[in-house]
Structure 1
Amino acid sequence: MLRISQYLREIATAEREGVYPSPRRAQSGGETRPVVIWNLTRRCNLTCKHCYALSADHHYPGELSHEEICTVMDDLRAYGVPVLILSGGEPLLHPQLFEIASRAQGMGFYTALSSNGTMIDAAMADRIAAQHFDYVGVSIDGSRDTHDRFRRKVGAYDESMAGIRLLHERGVKTGLRYTFTDLNGQDFPFLLQLMKDEGVDKFYFSHLNYAGRGNIHRGRDAHFEATRQALDLLFETAWADAEAGSSRDYVTGNNDADAAYLLAWVGRRWPQWQAPLRARLVAWGGNASGVGVANIDSQGEVHPDTMWGHHQLGNVRERPFSAIWSDRSDPLMDGLKMHPRPVKGRCAECQHLALCGGNTRVRAHQLTGDYWAEDPGCYLDDNEIGLSQEAASRLARVALTPFSGKRRVIEVLSA
């Protein structure tokens, strides 16, 4: 996740004081422990078009019991995991969500909730507020009609927005989560204004990743120019807030090329601050899959992040999370933990590899079958990544091909 507002606030401070602010003191003590996004249940009352978990409104057998969840939490705390994001499916459908949240908070985890918002009526808002979650994120895909189409439910927008307003009235820190595609890109300006009108604290701009239904619908991913225009608007909005001293936060995810694009955006306006910003972005390191973020699904499978649902590292019923996460015998996990990662093609030749970390490996794998091929979602052109003419002529871009669910028929000839 790229914290746009954090970096632009630093630029605003530098402009006021004439000196770039000192970096935050890095934590010592060895390897960084990941933020864990925990899909407590796969069940959801919606069947959204871009759902990475392929959730639906029915029971999924084999989900972790409450006792198993507590055992995993003990291991996570001992391992030094700082953050739990309780997700799904729709986590509000988990019968013991609030008991789990209470235990997590009592153990000292930063505890957040990720919801679609449709189940947050006044009574549920009271319960969420009383739980004192550190943050609650609610997905909104666009204006009313757009959101309802994405969520495949008429009235979903009104229900989700009602939930957000109820949380806001109770002082709960809330955020909008938005996935940008060519089907809802036209609604992005509306959502930025909605954030201000509703007093929402945070805006999370997610690029489409090719997982679950997001992979099935990858043919409707946003075109590169549309992505650039959306990010320009996002940066301008975040800069206006940073300059005005607003506490609203803007972040992006699932396309770490955003770091290089932000660096260029800043460089055109304040070239004197480009070098210290680049140092900050290199320290951030880009894609965090397998390093700074982890996923545990409802059945206990551990994944490098939520978008790697098709790649299992191990199950917490068989081995502790700490042992699974530290084990580099899995080739994908080993590569994700390398510095630099063993990327190929345009990614290997890119001058911004230290910023983005090779971007999202999921898209590369889904399209090519190769973990380390170039990320086809990178919207930067050859000049922006510093590609020579020779390299540009040698390295053809990976084409974005629509998902095909057709199975090949292999004829078997008898002897």
Structure 2
Amino acid sequence: MSVLIEVPTREPAAGIASLELEITGKCQLSCTHCLSESSPQATHGEMAPADWRTVITDAAALGIRTVQLIGGEPTVHPHWREFAELALSLGLHVEVYSNLYKVHDDWWDLFTRDGVTLGTSYYSDDPAEHDRITQRKGSYTRTRCNIREAVNRGITVRAGIVDILPGQRVAEARAELESMGVRHINTDRCAP
């Protein structure tokens, strides 16, 4: 059961329109370029679920319009859906920035809600190259399948292609994402 909490709308504090909430350092992948040093061995950090709920509630009260759940992999945090539901109940837009390596069937209901979008990283149209970067065999196939599923369900997907390797198939990755129906694509360069 969802509870809608009325929060007065106001202009965002100090012009801040969105917050990135790094709710965990844990991730199923071990990407070579990860800025937060996420991995399967990392932790959820020191903030308790109540702390995250306070941050989300305060963000809404300050007029912030969007919260982005990031990590690591935010969906490995045991309370990520609770955080997303709270943000939605406060009228916030929620972006879940996931590697889309693993998506449980019951998550699609949340992902298809109004006010929710998905963000993900993508590396190559070549499975071996993608998996080399994530250091997880099969990550390309699983991420690609879940991107297709999200687009087929009408979910807005934003993809970031991170250019890491010399000669990496960045243009081909973009073309593949576009062919799957992803319309919001950015490319970043990361020194190895």
Category of TM-score, reference length = shorter chain: 0.7 to 0.9
What's 2:103 paired with? 120
Higher normalized helix content (fraction of residues): 1
Contact 2:97 2:119 in 1 (8 A): yes
Question: Aligned-pair distance for 1:91?
Answer: 0.7
Amino acid at match of 2:163: F
Question: What is the DSSP-based 3-state SS (H/G/I as helix, E as strand, rest coil) of the residue aligned with 1:36?
Answer: strand
In the superposition, relative to structure 1, how do residues 194 and 117 fare at CA in structure 2: closer, same or farther (>3 Å)? same
What's 2:187 paired with? 205
Contact 1:47 1:151 in 2 (8 A): yes
What's 1:58 paired with? 41
Amino acid at match of 1:207: R
Return the alpha-carbon distance in structure 1 between the equivalents of residues 127 and 79 of structure 2.
Answer: 31
Q: Does 1:47 align with 2:30?
A: yes
Amino acid at match of 1:191: A
Contact 1:46 1:151 in 2 (8 A): yes
Contact 1:84 1:112 in 2 (8 A): yes
What's 1:189 paired with? 171
- Of 129, 143, 152, which residue of structure 1 is paired with 2:111? 129
Superposed CA deviations along residues 190-230 of structure 1, whole A, max 9, x for unmatched, are 1121122101121021232xxxxxxxxx4x3xxxxxxxxxx
TM-score, length-normalised on structure 2?
A: 0.85
Return the alpha-carbon distance in structure 1 between the equivalents of residues 101 and 63 of structure 2.
Answer: 33
Q: Does 1:89 align with 2:77?
A: no
Question: What is the DSSP-based 3-state SS (H/G/I as helix, E as strand, rest coil) of the residue aligned with 1:37?
Answer: strand
Question: Aligned-pair distance for 1:147?
Answer: 0.6
Contact 1:43 1:58 in 2 (8 A): yes
Contact 1:120 1:160 in 2 (8 A): no
Contact 2:12 2:63 in 1 (8 A): no
What's 2:163 paired with? 180
TM-score, length-normalised on structure 1?
A: 0.41
Amino acid at match of 2:159: L
Contact 2:84 2:94 in 1 (8 A): yes
Return the alpha-carbon distance in structure 2 between the equivalents of residues 174 and 162 of structure 1.
Answer: 13
Query: Matches of residues 147-166 of structure 1 in structure 2 within 5 Å?
Result: 147-166=130-149
Question: What's the Cα RMSD here?
Answer: 2.2
Return the alpha-carbon distance in structure 2 between the equivalents of residues 202 and 29 of structure 1.
Answer: 24
Question: Aligned-pair distance for 1:131?
Answer: 4.1
Aligned length: 182
Q: Does 1:100 align with 2:83?
A: yes
Amino acid at match of 2:81: F
Contact 2:12 2:64 in 1 (8 A): no
Superposed CA deviations along residues 331-389 of structure 1, whole A, max 9, x for unmatched, are xxxxxxxxxxxxxxxxxxxxxxxxxxxxxxxxxxxxxxxxxxxxxxxxxxxxxxxxxxx
- Of 53, 60, 83, which residue of structure 2 is paired with 1:70? 53
Contact 2:112 2:155 in 1 (8 A): no
In the superposition, relative to structure 1, how do residues 124 and 153 fare at CA in structure 2: closer, same or farther (>3 Å)? farther
Query: Matches of residues 391-410 of structure 1 in structure 2 within 5 Å?
Result: none
Question: What is the DSSP-based 3-state SS (H/G/I as helix, E as strand, rest coil) of the residue aligned with 2:15?
Answer: coil
Question: What is the DSSP-based 3-state SS (H/G/I as helix, E as strand, rest coil) of the residue aligned with 2:34?
Answer: coil
Return the alpha-carbon distance in structure 2 between the equivalents of residues 133 and 180 of structure 1.
Answer: 29
In the superposition, relative to structure 1, how do residues 184 and 85 fare at CA in structure 2: closer, same or farther (>3 Å)? farther
Question: What is the DSSP-based 3-state SS (H/G/I as helix, E as strand, rest coil) of the residue aligned with 2:169?
Answer: helix
- Structure 1 gaps of 5+ residues are 1-26, 209-217, 221-415
Contact 2:162 2:189 in 1 (8 A): yes
Return the alpha-carbon distance in structure 1 between the equivalents of residues 180 and 14 of structure 2.
Answer: 39
Higher normalized strand content (fraction of residues): 2
Of structures 1 and 2, the larger Rg is shown by: 1
Return the alpha-carbon distance in structure 2 between the equivalents of residues 107 and 185 of structure 1.
Answer: 45
Question: Aligned-pair distance for 1:98?
Answer: 1.1
Contact 1:129 1:170 in 2 (8 A): no
Contact 2:101 2:146 in 1 (8 A): yes
Contact 2:67 2:93 in 1 (8 A): yes
